[in-house]
Amino acid sequence: MSDADETELEKPFAVEKAKTGRAKCKKCKSNIDKDTIRIAKLMSNPFGEGKMKAWHHVNCLFEIFAKQRATTKKIDNPQEDIDGWDQIADDDKKIILEKIEKFENNTPYKKKRPASTASDEPAKKTAKQSLSSVKPSPNVKINVSDKSNDEKKISNHRDNTFRQFRNICAEVANASSYLEKTAIVKRMLTTGYDGDNFKGDIVMWCKMFLPMANKMIYNLQSKQLVKLFARIFILDENDMIEDLEQGDVAETIQKFFQLNNAFKPNNKSSLTVHEVYSFLEQLSQLTKEDEQIFHFKSIITRCTSNDLKMIIRLIKHDLRINAGPKHILEAIGPDVYRAYQLSHDLDTVLKRFTDELSKPICSTNMSKNKTSPQNKVMISLMTPVFPMLAEACTSVEMAMKKCPNGMLSEVKYDGERVQVHKQGEVFCYFSRSLKPVLPHKVNHFKEFIPKAFPDGDDLILDSEILMIDTKTGQPLPFGTLGVHKKAEFKDATVCIIIFDCLYYNGDILLNKTMAERREILKQRMTTIPNRVVLSEVQEVYNPKDLAEMIAKVLKMGLEGLVLKDMNSLYEPGKRHWLKIKKDYLLGGAMADSADLVVLGAWYGTGNKGGLMSIFLMGCYDEDIDKWVTVTKVHSGHDDATLDKLQKELEMIKIGKDPNLVPNWLKVNKPMVPDFISADPKKSPVWEITGAEFTNQGVHTADSISIRFPRVTRIRSDKNWSTATSLKELKKLFQTSSESIDVSLLLKTSSPTCKINKAVVKKKNSLKRKHSVDCDEENEEDNLMINTAAECSGENKQNIDGKMSKQIKISEKKVEDCIQNKIEGKYYEIIGNDKIKGVLGGLRVVLSDNIMTERRKILSQTLITSMLIHRYFSN
């Protein structure tokens, strides 16, 4: 082979037109169409000597470049760096050259290279060969990542070792408070191991601390990892899977690493954080088992058992340190986390804060740095923005207090949240967790969004996608966006509902009010029926209007409402919107519930590993004389109750084997548990409460299930015969929306609780006054509860034609109320008594011989809990 040929083969990239269309892009995993230009990055061949080509779409490769460290090799000179450059057409060359130019212009941390001359060429090659010999000018600021990544890898300073990273993770995990966790990280990144100055790579440490934010995808679930390491260790896979039931795959692999004979753990760790990160980067690009096994073997020989355990946790994106981005990034500086909230892109945030990271981290520097994070990191196209969220709203009164300027009341559809980025003709779609949305759900919007926004060249839209029945115009239930589910609805299309705009043709709209952003959407957007539509909203200034809208939405079977203050800004990551759902209202009194029997259980994960902590709930179907499944529930029990259940529940282990399911149980294969009840007629009955009843076909109780289930009560007063049967469950499902009692919402909406539109700009907060007065005028040994509307300027005796009434409750019932309050049954005391009238204010009249202490208990528990939760629903 000639020297020229050898040089040609050593080029780090290759380009050509796809020959067959069978090859898949290493980034997006989709096929590269035939005759489409593609670029390969040459990588080490895990199966032998030489290099292998990892093909990418052109756009995908440059997206990878944008997330890589500045020292990682990129395309600088196509003629020198790309094999096959001379063989492609000029039009294809133009596309790649434009990408290179755009990448360099949009990468502020990329060093500007001076124009090269002939005399510079030898120096350029020398610099690549020996980076350590190049000493920067004292006047030049150096990026932390650029400055010494290669030097640090060579130096093996303790601040750069993987062992030190593990030690700090252990300290953070053991810290009890979040402030203490941040202090530990800050101390390490300030003083380092020597106590003098941190000599490691801050950017690399942050990436290692936050594996969930790095967005490296390995597609390796726990059982897949066990399968790989069973082959590596030459051990029985079933033994490892049985140990995996304890819940921590990292500990399982560590345990068998110590037991195997094929690879013995090192006594001392020799890895650096850079070597581990590089290993993970390469692992994320491998998809075949043989390639992954070969890759794991390359690092196992240098691992201690603790090293391998931590590497597995990095792969699982969970270090078990109970610390997130806020606690890690605030150790660097207060602006770093706030900037991260704007753009959920760790690489971009850390690189934009290069100047701060290159200085020692100390309180003095932090106090001097008054720069707003918006000046450091702004939102940018094709980089997902952390979405604004909503907190649970439990009442109309809470909504009016939280939104004193008036609100936009928006229907909360039961779909999937999607953030749309459009840059020219290029589209990106991100989920609520900022991951790419599956193509089959969003690809067709490329045709409709340009029509909906004819002048919108560059956009960032906040939206929701769901299936719409084209005949009725009604939304279909959650879960119908799946590939197989969509096929079942021939008369339905995927529709995108736009509810906010963050960026429009170069203008960042985060600091505009909700009303202003809404107006921009109304002016710029053209509705395309059943494809691209604007969300339904209603301006609300009156509590009665809000209560009626809640009633209407819940009666229609929709999920609820989202409420947004008219003057609110878009604050990424903040829960400053409100969401109203049926199970949030009246302390959960309006939620759907059923008394179900425990039929089986699964092992938990994490801290609940090795415990039965997820339970299969069901009911009896007398028509077929079998038990059917309704839902699986994993919340509602505290740790003490879970420990108690391990001994009390009579279960038989079947290990999710469908062949071991007893004849008395009708269960679909995906719902086969680890344990099955020994006798369902002896199993306990629990009250299961959820957001709503659903019908999605996963369970065998006529496909009825409960969404977001939780255990609200252990019904020791019931057994299998008095629990909810399938016939009763069907009836509950049918009457769920019909039985919604919103009378309390409507009756508690006092006419005085209005927001005056004329003074909205003055931000006059709404204040409703509920007074509870102790009056001694009544000499009877009775409790008298008088509901009277306190409405200024109106007759208390006649509000909307409703007369206030008094109901007497004997002192014996008062004593019963106090006693049963402890047992959580106070709402059952009144029985058939009803309190009618408008609940504008409450007056409590107590006789002299009822002690002051009882007055407090009654006013706090009887009034707030009994009246509000129960009386008006009777």
- Region 129-147: mean pLDDT is 33
Least confident of 145-154, 516-525, 599-608, 618-627: 145-154
- Tell me the C-alpha distance between 269 and 162, whole Å: 8
* Active-site annotation holder among 181, 186, 412, 632: 412
The number of beta carbons lying within 10 Å of the beta carbon of residue 426 is 12
Pick the closest to residue 754 from 329, 241, 407 (CA basis).
Answer: 407
Note the residue count of the chain. 874
Contact 822, 862 (CB under 8 A): no
Contact 704, 727 (CB under 8 A): no
- Tell me the C-alpha distance between 379 and 398, whole Å: 32
pLDDT band at 802 (very low <50, low <70, confident <90, very high): very low
The number of beta carbons lying within 10 Å of the beta carbon of residue 789 is 22
Q: Tell me yes or no: is domain 591-734 CATH 3.40.50.300.
A: no
Judged by phi (left if over 0) then psi (alpha if -120 to 50, else beta), residue 431 lies in: beta
**Residue at 536: amino acid letter:** E
Q: Residue 338: its pLDDT value, please?
A: 81
Over 60: is that where the pLDDT of 9 sits? no
- Tell me the C-alpha distance between 428 and 214, whole Å: 18
Q: Residue 70: its pLDDT value, please?
A: 63
Q: Which fold has domain 418-534?
A: D-amino Acid Aminotransferase; Chain A, domain 1 (3.30.470)
Q: Residue 146: its pLDDT value, please?
A: 41
pLDDT band at 558 (very low <50, low <70, confident <90, very high): confident
- Region 39-59: mean pLDDT is 77
- Region 790-813: mean pLDDT is 36
Over 50: is that where the pLDDT of 58 sits? yes
Highest mean pLDDT among 152-161, 223-232, 324-333, 858-867: 223-232
- Tell me the C-alpha distance between 169 and 159, whole Å: 13
Over 90: is that where the pLDDT of 295 sits? yes
- Region 155-183: mean pLDDT is 90
Provide the CA 383 distance to its chain's centre, in angstroms.
17
Both tokens of 105, joined, read 């212009």
Strand ranges for 23-93 from DSSP E = 37-44, 51-57, 82-83
Over 70: is that where the pLDDT of 856 sits? no
Pick the closest to residue 865 from 820, 815, 832, 810 (CA basis).
Answer: 820
pLDDT tens across 87-122, in order?
A: 888 888 888 888 888 777 765 444 444 444 443 444
Could you confirm whether 412 is annotated as catalytic? yes
Over 50: is that where the pLDDT of 738 sits? yes
Helix and strand tally (H, E) in the chain? 34, 29
pLDDT tens across 497-522, in order?
A: 999 999 999 999 999 999 999 999 99
For the chain, the average pLDDT equals 76
Contact 156, 302 (CB under 8 A): no
- Region 258-285: mean pLDDT is 92
Judged by phi (left if over 0) then psi (alpha if -120 to 50, else beta), residue 382 lies in: left
Least confident of 71-75, 234-238, 547-551: 71-75
Q: Residue 373: its pLDDT value, please?
A: 41
- Tell me the C-alpha distance between 403 and 765, whole Å: 8
- Region 127-155: mean pLDDT is 37
Least confident of 15-24, 55-64, 438-447, 825-834: 825-834
Contact 713, 741 (CB under 8 A): no
Judged by phi (left if over 0) then psi (alpha if -120 to 50, else beta), residue 95 lies in: alpha
pLDDT tens across 199-217, in order?
A: 888 889 999 999 988 778 8
Contact 501, 459 (CB under 8 A): yes
Choices 3.30.1740.10, 3.40.50.11540, 3.40.50.720, 3.20.20.70: CATH for 3-122: 3.30.1740.10
Domain positions in the chain: 3-122, 141-378, 418-534, 591-734, 769-873
- Region 335-346: mean pLDDT is 80
Over 90: is that where the pLDDT of 839 sits? no
Of the CA atoms within 13 Å of residue 451, those in its CB half-sphere come to 11
Over 60: is that where the pLDDT of 176 sits? yes
pLDDT band at 490 (very low <50, low <70, confident <90, very high): confident
Q: Tell me yes or no: is domain 141-378 CATH 3.90.1150.10.
A: no
Q: Residue 186: its pLDDT value, please?
A: 92
Q: Residue 45: its pLDDT value, please?
A: 66
Q: Residue 692: its pLDDT value, please?
A: 83
- Region 772-791: mean pLDDT is 34
- The structure's pTM equals 0.60
Q: Residue 785: its pLDDT value, please?
A: 33
pLDDT tens across 375-421, in order?
A: 445 678 888 888 999 999 988 889 999 998 899 999 888 789 999 99
Both tokens of 477, joined, read 């239930």
Provide the CA 773 distance to its chain's centre, in angstroms.
46
